[in-house]
Structure 1
Amino acid sequence: MQLHTTLALSLLITAKTDPDSEADRFIITNEFYPEQYSIYTSKYEIVNIIVPLNQLNYGNNPGSKYVFFFVEADQDESGRVIEKGLYVFKDGNPIKLLDNGRDVAAAADESNVAFIAAEDGIYLYNNERVSVHKYGTISDSIIGIAKPTHSDIIYILTEDKEVFIVSGMDTKKEKVNEIVNAEQIILDYDNNLYYLDADTQVYFYDFLSVTKIEGLPDYAFSARLLKPPVTTQGFVPFVVDGEIYCINAKGYAEMFDKVEFAGNGTPSAFAMEDGVVHYYAINKKIYEFDIYDILHNGAKGLLGKLVKKTVADEILTLIGLLV
């Protein structure tokens, strides 16, 4: 399966084979994030990373570094999340854009814009000025946002756990009544919408009805949908209590049993959208893994000591399957 190939490519870099495991499973702990790959250290937890797959990164004159966005947050004594800023990381430097930003969406197309979900509505990112301005008249407290490809609509998820379709320059919004109690929304590259609800269950919305994804655990302590790598088709990764599942629009999930995150190795944010360069946040740091660079020049530090030749050979085989 193509998604299996891409996920293995994304995660084998930071994984180790347990020689006693019959399943040949890769267990990822916090030891597999070498300091040499750290590109940013925060005072707060990094809870979201987004890599735009449009002209912001693939234009005629792209910068030498990827442009990506990330969100920092803290918790008060009651456990309530307190936003500490949404940043753009451009030319190797973090630049704060909003104090109350929460999520970013960019269509995988020829556009050069990114839409930002914030506590007071939607903002539009200007890459030339490295600034933001308010988009439309919506003032809802938005916690999630998704932008379909080749469409003028935007999906927004409000703090009240409701999903709306926003359309037109007048930002007219229409509630999606079929979606209830949503806590996260994600689009695949076929513009299919998936959402995670408060009971850690995943559903698929096809503009007409909602379908529950079968094959997932009935309960989870932690769960998160991931933006899929651009090389996948019709699948979305789902991390639930360290286990990885592949979910699709046909309504079922399949466990990806080759990789598992140990408790202290589970990132607080993932970004594998690009398919070649991946970003993981853990322990208030962002790590950048360029797979081609690692294969070409070797792994650095502790990672280089842990990745065995058999793992490297498998990665090369997976590279061959992708190209």
Structure 2
Amino acid sequence: MRVLLVCLAGLLVCLKTADSHSLPQKDYETDSSKHDITIPLNDTSGNNSSSVPDNSNGIFDSNTTTFIARSVTRVGKKESMGIYAHKNGKVKKILEGSMAVSPWSSKSRAYLGNKDGIYVYDTETEKLEKYGNLSDNVIGIAKENRTDDLYILTEDHVVYKVTEEGTKKIKVNEAEHAERIALDWDDNLYYIGANNQPYVVASDGAKKIEGLPANSTPTLISRPPITIEHGAWFISGQQAYIIYPNATSELYVFNDQEKLEYEKRNRAVQAIFLQVRDQTEE
């Protein structure tokens, strides 16, 4: 059975502009005093861990598992309401108090970060289990493309590489004061620093990504959700960029087919958005 795993990595937005440089715009309102839902952007299918995803067959069929992290903002502070899994038209909460899911997985497993360590969720059996023996408060998590090793970001903004099935962690000293982390398809590590600037971790230390607009504010950093073989996906405002392991960047221009895919994806996501909201407010 083909398993298509969709992992959250930021707000999914829909196309309302003819500007091919711009990201799609949101077509729903978010009231900061009410529930705020982070919607999936990344997806992959099949079992070939070296392949770039192909969205041509649609992303929300009966074999798709979609993860949605829900939060509520109270007095200007975002509080987690947990992670939900949507499959076969049904929604269920799988982990309380968590906001971190590993984006992109080629297998039927997703890794989730929580305040007491790492969990793994099997999308076929729909079972959640503790992964390894770490007890860190994990606020960000990413899985390597070629191996089962993970990178985690802890509450105190330290990055670790996690190996040996979650039993060993190694501090990534080059990634200082990280706010978010991401891997590209070649397993290069990127992070957003305390100054809101993106960096790539190279063999000779962390390097600031060049070529981005001054004072750019990151909305999202992740593996590319489209067929780009090298580099990571960086969004600032409504503009998408590809950032590369040599610390350069370039503006990404959407083609017509990609715009159609975003429109189709947005319609499917909105239906899930409403289902989660209605179910959790009952």
Aligned residue in 2 for 1:6:
none
Match of 1:84 in 2: 81
Question: 1:224-235 alignment to 2 at 5 Å?
Answer: 224-229=220-225, 231-235=227-231
Paired position in structure 1 for 2:245:
249
CA-to-partner distance for each residue in 1:43-71, whole Å, 9 max, x for gaps?
7211252655355999xxx9625212110
* C-alpha distance in 2 between matches for 1:187 and 1:92: 30
Q: Does 1:176 pair with 2:167?
A: no
Of 91, 107, 119, which aligns to 1:123? Answer: 119
TM-score of the superposed pair, with normalisation by structure 1 = 0.64
Q: Which range moves more in the overlay, 234-243 or 171-180?
A: 234-243
- Give the superposition deviation at 1:169: 2.9
| 1:65-120 Cα distance to aligned partner (Å, 9 max, x none) | 5212110111221x2220011011111222110111222226644x3221111121
Q: Which residue of 1 aligns with 2:6?
A: none
Against the structure 1 CA distance between its residues 214 and 281, is the aligned structure 2 distance closer, same or farther, given a 3 Å change threshold?
farther
Please give the secondary structure, in 2, of the residue aligned with 1:157: strand
Q: Which residue of 1 aligns with 2:38?
A: 47
Return the structure number with greater helix share: 1
Residue identity over aligned pairs, in percent, reads 30
Match of 1:73 among 50, 53, 71: 71
SS state at 1:215 partner:
coil
Alpha-carbon spacing, 1:133–1:93, altered in 2? closer, same or farther (3 Å):
same
Deviates more, 1:219-228 or 1:208-217: 219-228
1:51, 1:142 → 2: CA distance? 20
Aligned structure 1 segments of 4 or more residues deviating by more than 4 angstroms: 24-30, 54-58, 274-277, 279-285
Is the CA contact 1:103–1:143 (under 8 Å) kept in the aligned structure 2?
yes
Aligned to 1:321: none
Q: Please report how far the alpha carbon of residue 238 of structure 1 lies from its aligned counterpart in structure 2 after TM superposition.
A: 1.3
C-alpha root-mean-square deviation of aligned residues, in Å? 3.7
Q: Structure 1, unaligned stretches of length 5 or more?
A: 1-9, 19-23, 34-42, 260-271, 288-323
Aligned residues: 245
How does the TM-score come out when normalised to structure 2?
0.73
CA contact (8 A) 2:15 2:263 kept: no
Bigger relative CO (Cα 8 Å, ≥ 6 apart): 1
Q: List aligned pairs for 1:1-323, cutoff 5 A.
A: 14-17=15-18, 28-30=24-26, 44-49=35-40, 51=42, 53-54=44-45, 64-77=62-75, 79-105=76-102, 108-109=105-106, 111-169=107-165, 171-206=167-202, 208-229=204-225, 231-256=227-252, 278=265, 286=273
Please tell me whether Structure 1 or Structure 2 has the larger radius of gyration of its CA atoms. 1
